[in-house]
């Protein structure tokens, strides 16, 4: 591992400390001082005080064999950072990119009291503007943002929500049968995005994709909203994949890894 930095403001001792932490993180087994020195190509005498300081502050610990390993302190610090992330601050730049690219209005929703509630909105540059607002709540079965969330909820939680709020019809296209709705959610999980075709309001179409946190739990959804004429069905797949990619980008900024198993799906 190369400890030399081209940054003239670099602190050599700090760089060595970071190299030690990274070496311990990459090793499956605890490492002795000579092993650490060999890995980062630094004399043992140069890292003795660094190891002592890291141990004193709880970042590493010494085993009974006299070797060193990481503690969970770095993990705890990372969790603190993740807990402080504001999904709206993270999502808004991505939503703006999506609105500029597609010229549709973009919404971010979160599950609140069993409904999908808009918590952020970015108007598209199109002359068509929507009167939707932050705080507006939608049923899960007749909205794009609701479907995208519902598809990744634990089954028991979804059943509780449907029992509490029902599946009221708001247009002739609304799905009002719970089994039909659950079957539709299978396609959402398969595609990675949800289509809402004039089910909440006539003449309005939405496409939404789920947003996950660092634990793989669905924490919201991002959607585009358009009048029917500006979003023909032939564009559903193209737009859906783009919305899904942007939702995954937001998720990754929240600590989600695309190869991790979604916990709510694992519960099924």
pLDDT at 145: 98
Rounded to whole angstroms, the Cα distance separating 194 from 127 reads 25
Closest by CA position to 253, among listed 228, 224, 208, 219: 219
pLDDT at 264: 47
pLDDT tens per residue, range 133-165: 888 999 999 999 999 999 999 999 999 999 999
pLDDT at 258: 78
Closest by CA position to 91, among listed 246, 255, 239: 246
pLDDT tens per residue, range 44-70: 888 899 999 999 999 999 999 999 999
Average pLDDT of the chain to the nearest whole number: 90
Is 109's pLDDT higher than 90?
yes
Is 246's pLDDT higher than 60?
yes
pLDDT band at 128 (very low <50, low <70, confident <90, very high): low
183-212: b (≥16 Cβ within 10 Å) or e: ebbeebeebbbbbbbbbbbeebbbbbbbbb
Cβ neighbours for 182, distance < 8 A, ≥ 6 positions apart: 158
Instruction: Measure CA of the first residue to CA of the last residue in the chain; give whole Å.
Output: 44
Element (H, E) at 120: strand 115-122
Model confidence, pTM? 0.72
Question: Where, residue-wise, is CATH 1.10.10.10 in the chain?
Answer: 12-74
C-alpha torsion 140→143→148→154, nearest 10? 10
Backbone region of residue 183 per phi and psi (left: phi > 0; alpha: psi in -120 to 50; beta: other values): alpha
Rounded to whole angstroms, the Cα distance separating 150 from 157 reads 9
For domain 12-74, the question of CATH label 1.10.10.10 is answered with yes
Going across the sheet that includes 115-122, the strands are 137-138, 115-122, 105-112, 218-227, 204-212, 194-197
Fold adopted by 85-254: Beta-Lactamase (3.30.450)
**Helix/strand/coil for 33:** helix
Least confident of 46-60, 77-91, 230-244: 77-91
pLDDT tens per residue, range 170-212: 999 999 999 999 999 999 999 999 999 999 999 999 999 999 9
Question: Where, residue-wise, is CATH 3.30.450.40 in the chain?
Answer: 85-254
């Amino acid at each position: 591992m190369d400890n030399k930095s081209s940054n003239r403001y670099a602190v050599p001792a700090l760089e060595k400390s970071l190299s030690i932490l990274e070496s311990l993180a990459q090793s499956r087994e605890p490492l002795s001082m000579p092993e650490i020195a060999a890995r980062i190509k630094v004399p043992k005498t140069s890292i003795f005080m660094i190891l002592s300081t890291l141990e004193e502050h709880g970042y590493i610990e010494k085993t009974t064999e006299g070797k060193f390993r990481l503690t969970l302190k770095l993990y705890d610090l990372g969790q603190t950072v993740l807990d402080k992330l504001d999904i709206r601050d993270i999502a808004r730049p991505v939503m703006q990119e999506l609105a500029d690219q597609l010229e549709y209005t973009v919404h971010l929703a979160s599950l609140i009291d069993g409904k999908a509630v808009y918590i952020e909105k970015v108007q598209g540059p199109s002359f068509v503007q929507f009167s939707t607002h932050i705080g507006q709540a939608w049923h899960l079965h007749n909205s794009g943002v609701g479907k995208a969330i519902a598809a990744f909820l634990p089954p028991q939680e979804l059943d509780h929500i449907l029992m509490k709020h029902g599946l009221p019809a708001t247009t002739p296209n609304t799905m009002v049968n719970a089994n039909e709705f659950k079957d539709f959610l299978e396609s959402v999980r398969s595609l990675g995005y949800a289509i809402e075709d004039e089910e909440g309001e006539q003449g309005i179409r939405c496409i939404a994709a789920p947003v996950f946190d660092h634990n793989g739990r669905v924490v919201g959804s991002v959607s585009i909203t358009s009048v029917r004429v500006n979003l023909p069905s032939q564009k559903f797949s193209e737009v859906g994949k783009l919305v899904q990619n942007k939702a995954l980008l937001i998720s990754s900024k929240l600590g989600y890894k695309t190869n991790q198993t979604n916990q709510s799906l694992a519960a099924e």
